[in-house]
Amino acid sequence: MPTVYLSKFSFSNPEPHLRAEHTQDTCRGLGFGLVQALAANPDNIIFAGARNPSSKELAAFAAAHPEQVIPIALDSADVPLNKAAAKLIEEKVGKLDVVIANAGMGKVSTMSDIEIPEFVETFKVNVLGPLVLFQNTQQLLRKASSTGKFVTISSVQGSVSNMIPGPSGAYGASKAAVNSVTIKIQEENPDLIVFPMCPGFVATEGASKFTKDQGAPREIMNSAAPISVAAANVLKHISEAVKVDQPKTLWTARGTSLGKEVPF
């Protein structure tokens, strides 16, 4: 029986004020790294959810793995599109073993000067996106071969007790909110394994620009993990994850290490 994954696919974007799902000709994001890593195991079937599933890079990779990688249209917080994606997965394989809510967006700004529409859009993508995805995939997760897993890709920027200084208020606030939403989902669905996690600082174009715009020291940017390493760390943690009734900490990678726990 194959293991079936749904990963919300992201492309890097040179404009940090745009949503991470917007596409460009070259994809370098963690979402694509996860799909690539999962496809290395012939027993996996991966539904790669993208705002533009016909993107050149995704289409080419899917063509090279026709029995494993299935691009599907999926946009954060778009309820009809999420419903349609779940229906398609139900018709094709009838279950999901793991769902990874990976899409996100962020902009360097302070609480004093951020435009309210930008704040709202950040919460729509980073908080409502994972919630809508869960609502529409939960029944497929209950048909998993073992215990279904729903994973939200979060950030240490969302740790209220361990907050990193810098002008990323809307992004950090949205990640704190999605951590809370994810833990509440776990509480309400004890038959599933649900948790947020942080991949650490990953060497993507978008993350590097975001961090640079915050004025982070060069040594921090140089410590970023390659996408392939970050993807391997994330998938290892997901594969080893067990049921926790009330998570108290956020698992996060540190560079190329397998990670540590950070208080919420």
**Res. 68 pLDDT band, cuts 50 70 90:** very high
Please state, in angstroms and rounded to a whole number, the distance separating the CA atoms of residues 73 and 79. 12
Q: For residue 42, which phi and psi values (nearest 5 degrees)? A: -65, -10
Listed in sequence order, the residues at least 6 apart from 184 whose beta carbon sits closer than 8 Å to its beta carbon are none
How many CB atoms are closer than 10 A to CB 46?
A: 28
pLDDT mean over 169-178: 90
Average pLDDT over residues 127-139: 96
Which pTM does this prediction carry?
0.85
Q: What is the pLDDT of residue 83?
A: 95
Q: Which residues have a Cβ under 8 Å from the Cβ of 98 and sit 6 or more positions away?
A: 3, 4, 5, 6, 144, 148, 149, 150, 151, 238
| Average pLDDT rounded to a whole number, residues 116-121 | 92
Query: Three-class SS of residue 100?
Result: strand
The catalytic residue positions are 154, 171, 175
Which pLDDT value is given to residue 27? 46
* pLDDT tier for residue 16 given thresholds of 50, 70 and 90: very low
Q: Are strands 249-254 and 257-263 parallel, antiparallel or unpaired?
A: antiparallel
| Paired tokens of 192 | 């599933």
pLDDT digits (tens, 9 = 90+) for 17-36: 322 222 222 345 888 889 99
DSSP assignment of 141-170 equals HTTSSSS-EEEEE--GGG-STTPPPSSBHH
List CB contacts of 144: < 8 A, sequence separation 6 or more.
4, 95, 96, 97, 98
Name the β-bridge partners of 151.
100, 195
pLDDT bucket at 70, cuts 50 / 70 / 90 = very high
Indicate if the pLDDT at residue 194 is higher than 50. Answer: yes
Q: What is the pLDDT at residue 260? A: 63
DSSP string, 181-226: HHHHHHHH-TTSEEEEEE--SB--HHHHHHHHHTT--HHHHHTPBP
Percent of the chain with pLDDT over 70: 77
Structural domain spans, the chain: 3-263
- Average pLDDT over the chain reads 80
Angstrom CA distances, 152 to 94, 128, 129, 167, 253, stand at 22, 12, 10, 23, 14
Burial call 81-117: b when 16+ CB within 10 Å, e when fewer: bbeebbeebeeebebbbbbbbbbbbbbbbeeeebeee
CATH number of the domain located at residue range(s) 3-263 in this protein: 3.40.50.720
Q: What is the pLDDT of residue 5?
A: 85
Q: Are 150 and 192 in contact (CB under 8 A)?
A: yes
